[in-house]
A and B are shown apart, each in its own frame.
Chain A
């Protein structure tokens, strides 16, 4: 049975008349990196704020390490680290003092921890600078150091790559991977930069207009997002044999309409039509498909929009009641 460290059940959050989150269900497995994908205003920050305890759910349940009661949630949050919206710090304190402040507040013994996380997040050289003099990227690093100093089991990161330069993004990605692999820290990371999340997450949750459209594993998403070639020839079996012999292509299959779908084709499309002609076969159709994560997300949003519009039409007509 899967062990979820973070889970929400039908969580709804509204601010007055604005519905920020609508019956959201997410399931974050222990030791995984969960990417929360959504446009600006989709409800990512609201969901993270709910998990971090900054705001309260209008309805629904939140589970942290299997606990849902208020007091238990507070206790469980001691095992989490979070950067929500932007890292919070006192402008007048230095980076080192801010980390020391966090260490004391979280009741972590050992002053050497400050040194350790200064080094780990790469802000050692700024340790004596005031927090308000840091660049955006340095502030993000400090935020991460503050989140990590409590040695959390779960990290909640809201758009952590905002403001980071390309090398900073790469360093952060590597650091998060390392934390996940070496310490088994579960990470929930939100972003609207899909390509960035694709490189790091094991699971994805797609959020749009406050609703979780889909949760999918990276493996399944990979399948959905891979490029493929679809070719319809006069004899599919003969073509398949030739393909295997000539190219050693393994990842193809014959679809019900007798066309061949070649996943991740190794050669240009012209090669595959030429191959058919060499076998004396006629090519009736040749299509190349490139599905990116962006395409997947846009399609998903579109499908959900059409589905909800159809449903509302049905409801208006009194179809399902």
Chain B
């Protein structure tokens, strides 16, 4: 597995896409703040030229990190089976489990690099260009990263799993969306009628991020601001990692090319 990870890191360094994606994300983050700034200085009564509004865009939607995880996994390995490169690794005696775990490690590394670049550019440009103040602070944004980290990793594991299982990206995406978004939503609505289901539904990130948080122009109540909320995020992420990790290992072992 060590050699597999090294080789994938080498590919990452040689591929253009990580630089392009890092550049595009950083540019978009900067551009967003620049546009807000330009509106702020040229439009009287423009309410959104504040760091609070800028930060709240990320703080209010922690599931963005999960979507980003799927996007990165897809960019890295969507064509792995179709290209025959997955088959190469198996022919060379690398265990399927090693390949699955190796992909997770490399993908998480790539995601961390992209995240670090994007968040840094976004936070610094916000602080430099926009008016300080408002309910959402930099601290909320920075605390969001550890809170969401395990959930995003579990989302990444699920992404690698569905991309390995299905040859077509659209099928992988729909399966991923079903597990991460649709099923939790259905459980939540069912929980309104069948009360026993509600506690289960409220341990799913899609639900607890939308129900147990309130981030807008006038207030910022994040889940991770309390120790219990932070614990919930971390436990939910850890369970996801165990669940999708185990499923990934089992299914990868049985997957034929």
B-binding residues in A (CB < 8 A): 49, 52-56, 74-82, 84-94, 97, 100-102, 104-107, 146, 150, 156
Contacts and interface: CB of A to CB of B under 8 A. Distances in A.
A80 B254 CA distance: 22
Nearest to B253: A70
Given A75-B93, A77-B93, A105-B6, 9 more contacts: A56-B254, A77-B90, A81-B91, A82-B88, A100-B10, A101-B7, A104-B10, A105-B4, A107-B3
Given A88-B84, A101-B10, A54 B257 contact: yes
17 contacts: A52-B87, A52-B91, A55-B256, A56-B254, A56-B256, A84-B87, A90-B11, A93-B14, A97-B11, A97-B14, A101-B11, A102-B88, A104-B3, A104-B7, A105-B3, A105-B89, A146-B88
A93 B14 CA distance: 7
Interface size class of B (residues with CB under 8 A): 20 to 34
B5 to A, nearest CB: 9
A76 B93 contact: yes
A155 to B, nearest CB: 11
Given A77-B93, A104-B7, A88 B88 contact: yes
Contacts of A81: 91-92
Nearest to A94: B14
Contact of A92 (B4, B10, B16): B16
A80 B87 CA distance: 13
A86 B84 contact: yes
Contact of B91 (A56, A82, A86, A92): A82
A26 to B, nearest CB: 18
Contacts, number: 91
Contact of B84 (A76, A77, A89): A89
Which of B3, B10, B79, B88 has the most C-beta atoms of chain A within 10 angstroms of its own C-beta?
B88
Interface of B: 3-4, 6-7, 10-11, 14-17, 79, 83-95, 254, 256-257
A105 B7 CA distance: 5
A90 B85 contact: yes
Contacts of B256: 54-56
A202 B16 CA distance: 46
Contacts of B257: 49, 54-55
Nearest to A52: B91
B84 A92 contact: no
Contacts of A79: 93
A102 B89 CA distance: 9
Q: Which 8 A-B pairs have the closest CB atoms?
A: A88-B84, A77-B93, A105-B7, A78-B93, A82-B91, A104-B7, A54-B257, A52-B91
B17 A92 contact: yes
Given A86-B84, A93-B14, A105 B91 contact: no
Contact of B11 (A76, A84, A93, A106): A93
Nearest to A104: B7
A283 to B, nearest CB: 59
Nearest to A74: B93
Nearest to B89: A105
Contacts of B88: 82, 88, 102, 146
Contact of A150 (B17, B84, B92): B92
Given A56-B256, A105-B4, A146-B88, A91 B83 contact: yes
Nearest to B83: A88
